[in-house]
Amino acid sequence: MQKSDIGIIGMAVMGQNLALNIESRGFSVAVYNRTGSRTKEFIQKRAKNKNIVATYSISDFVKSLVRPRKILLMVKAGEAVDIFIEKIIPLLDEGDIIIDGGNSYFKDTERRYKIVENRGLLYLGTGISGGEYGALYGPCIMPGGDKRAYQQVEDIFISCAAQTEDGPCCTYLGPSSAGHYVKMVHNGIEYGLMQIIAECYHLMKLGLKMSIDEIQQIFNQWNSTELGSYLMEITSDIFTKKDDLTDKPLVEVILDKAEQKGTGKWTSQSALDLGIPIPTITAAVDARIISSFKSERATLAERFKREKKNWKVDKEKFLSNLKNACYICMILSYIQGMHLLAAASDNFNYGVDLSEVARIWKGGCIIRAKLLDIIKNIYRKNPGLSNLLLSDELRETIFRRSVDLRKVLIEAKTWEVPTPAMSASLNYYDAYRMDTLPANLIQAQRDYFGAHTYQRVDREGIFHTSWQA
Ligand code: NBP
């Protein structure tokens, strides 16, 4: 039997579409899934007459692969990955490659990397973004781990990744868990952007009392400007969809409880561990959590009624400010994510090239946006930049739009419409550009109750005061 170039374990949404994508680029693929009926259905329908081989036991799957074997795991993140690694390791030979393409937690990837490498095998923790459509037509691929393994799979990855005028949306990102770390931060930024867009929608709906059709037109218009991005595009599309049952806009009949799978929370947790502020992203995680308390929210909405006055506002002016506010908040979401990546790269010795990260995010992934071109060019010129707020290129853009963000938030607070991510963005900007913060008082309090000491503004040294003496 002719052996396959690559094997994929996990025939759910991502595994199936990646198998079809890779096959369409001229590679042969073997597939396996825990539940055989899923594999069978795939091979009889979507994979019919394609260079894809179905296998129904792990040993047949392993035997069906060209050496060094390349095995891509596309199973649910967590225990399933460990289960398959343990199952396949004894069947593999030195130099064979295991690739985890799921949304694994980067610390799990570090642990698995060591287990696999200790057995003479190579490991790649690889973030893949783009959802169902991206997996089929060209995702953004974020590989990290053993560089020798990457060199073996590079031709497959590069050919099935999304392509932009800046090249394929795939590059080797660094050792160990670098790929999954970058994917985690990608998802963190995604949380921020989604929440910012949702807040703009909420302000248009509650503050300006706009219809869904009007809101759709605004998002559509914004998408053709500097705000152009995949999330802006799909948001505009979402507003056009009518519900089959009620003929209302579908978005209006969807329950307002946002779910999450953990990548946003991990981003915030890691940022706290590394001491990097990412308040826009963390506010977006919190906003999803607050939304989940639906019944309490309903009770509290009665208990603390919102003022529903007819506020006087210049609609056109507000929308123009809102567009700029949305843009600066999005910029700040990327700025915080990139800051975290820079710190993580230093701390974990990933050696991540941030301009390459911005380049590969330009296509295939959920956070692709025009803005990434600017970010890529800034890092190309200045690879060591710790925080994009320090870049000359964004200075004017941020400064001018911050004025409009402030105006939007003043209205939002008068209307009593929550804007957690947008408010967090402005606070981040205001705090970061302020040379004197009230942290002197915090230090005094710490020294008062805990003798934690402080430094002075006028002389070197560490000081302690007996405050009650
Ligand atoms: P899911 O995350 O829904 O996982 C389904 C797959 O995991 C099936 O093959 C299932 O086998 C297998 N599986 C499960 Br569930 N528990 C298992 C266990 N205990 N032992 C062995 N296999 C088990 O699939 P997906 O949505 O295709 O995503 C795959 C990976 O890609 C995930 O890590 C996901 O986070 C990531 N990802 C998904 C998307 C997306 O848009 N869906 C985008 C980007 C990344 P079964 O058929 O036998 O139940």
Three-class SS of 7-36: EEECCCHHHHHHHHHHHHCCCCEEEECCCH
Kindly give the distance from the C-alpha atom of residue 33 to the centroid of ligand 1, in angstroms, as a whole number.
10
User: Is ligand 1 within 6 A of the CB of residue 38?
Assistant: yes
Pocket test for ligand 1, best of 14, 72, 105 (most atoms within 8 A of CB): 14
For ligand 1, whether the C-beta of 75 sits within 6 Å is yes
Does any ligand 1 atom lie closer than 6 A to the CB of residue 86? no
Residue 243, pLDDT score: 98
Closest residue by Cα to residue 6 from 166, 112, 160, 134: 160
Evaluate if residue 308 carries a pLDDT over 80: no
Residue 277: is the preceding peptide bond cis (ω within 30°)? Answer: no
Structure tokens at 98: 């295991």
- Per residue in 325-341, pLDDT (tens digit) is 999 999 999 999 999 99
* Residues 455-461, mean pLDDT to the nearest whole number: 98
pLDDT (0 to 100) of residue 430: 98
* pLDDT at 359 (0 to 100): 98
State the pLDDT confidence band at 460, using cuts at 50, 70 and 90. very high
The tokens of 4 are what?
């396959």
Å from CA of 38 to ligand 1 middle: 12
Determine if ligand 1 sits within 6 Å of the CB of residue 343: no
This prediction has a pTM of: 0.97
Predicted confidence at residue 409, as pLDDT, reads 98
pLDDT in the model for residue 314 = 96
pLDDT at residue 312, as a whole number: 86
Whether 139 is in the pocket of ligand 1, judged by its Cβ within 6 Å, is no
- What is the pLDDT, as a whole number, of residue 416? 95
Q: Is the pLDDT of residue 259 over 80?
A: yes
pLDDT of res. 1: 73
**202 Cβ inside 6 Å of ligand 1:** no
Atom of ligand 1 nearest to the CA of 139: 44
- Nearest CA owner, ligand 1 atom 17: 80
Confidence label for 26 from pLDDT (cuts 50, 70 and 90): very high
pLDDT digit string, tens, across residues 138-152:
999 999 999 999 999
* Alpha carbon distance 147, 296 (integer Å): 50
Residue 190 annotated among the catalytic residues of the structure: yes
Report the distance separating Cα 441 and Cα 167, nearest Å.
51
Number of the ligand 1 atom closest to the C-alpha atom of 77: 33
How far does residue 123's CA lie from ligand 1's centre (Å)?
19
Tokens of 22: 């890779």
CATH superfamily of 6-176: NAD(P)-binding Rossmann-like Domain (3.40.50.720)
Residue 279: band (very low, low, confident or very high) from pLDDT cuts 50, 70, 90:
very high
User: Which string of DSSP letters, residue by residue, matches 363-425?
Assistant: SSSTT-BTHHHHHHHHHHH-TT-S-GGG-HHHHHHHHHHHHHHHHHHHHHHHHT---HHHHHH
* Distances 430 to 267, 385, 399, 401, 425 between C-alpha atoms, Å: 22, 20, 11, 13, 9
Q: What average pLDDT does this structure show over 277-287? A: 98
Answer whether residue 69 shows pLDDT above 90. Answer: yes
Looking at residues 289-315, what average pLDDT do you find? Answer: 93
Closest ligand 1 atom to the C-alpha of 14? 27
* pLDDT surpassing 80 at residue 309: no
Asked if the model's pLDDT at residue 346 lies above 80, the reply is: yes
pLDDT category, 310, cuts 50, 70, 90?
A: confident
pLDDT at 394: 97
- Residue 222 CB-half CA count within 13 A: 30
Give residue 252 CA to ligand 1 midpoint distance, Å. Answer: 29
The pLDDT score that the predictor gives to residue 307 is 82
Rounded to an integer, the average pLDDT of 58-85 is 98
Pick the residue whose CA is nearest to atom 36 on ligand 1.
102
Domain layout of the chain by residue ranges: 6-176, 183-432, 440-469
**What's the mean pLDDT when you consider all of the chain?**
97
**Angle value at C-alpha 373, between 419 and 406, nearest 5 degrees:** 25
Question: Tell me, which fold does domain 440-469 have in CATH?
Answer: 1.20.5
Task: Say if ligand 1 is within 6 A of residue 6 CB.
Answer: no
Q: Which of 91-105, 209-223, 228-242, 309-323 has the lowest mean pLDDT?
A: 309-323
pLDDT digits (tens, 9 = 90+) for 159-179: 999 999 999 999 999 999 999
DSSP assignment of 64-109 equals TBPSSPEEEE-S-SSHHHHHHHHHHGGG--TT-EEEE-S---HHHH
Distance 91 CA to ligand 1 centre (A): 22
Tokens of 90: 């004894």
CATH 3.30.70.20 correct for 183-432: no
Q: What is the pLDDT of residue 433?
A: 96
- Determine if ligand 1 sits within 6 Å of the CB of residue 73: no
| Protein residue closest via CA to atom 49 of ligand 1 | 35
3: left (phi over 0), alpha (psi -120 to 50) or beta: beta
Same fold, 183-432 and 440-469: no
Query: How far out from the chain centre does Cα 211 lie?
Result: 30
Strand arrangement, sheet containing 70-73: 52-54, 29-32, 6-9, 70-73, 97-100, 122-129, 140-145
Distance 11 CA to ligand 1 centre (A): 8
- Identified catalytic residue from 183, 265, 323, 376: 183
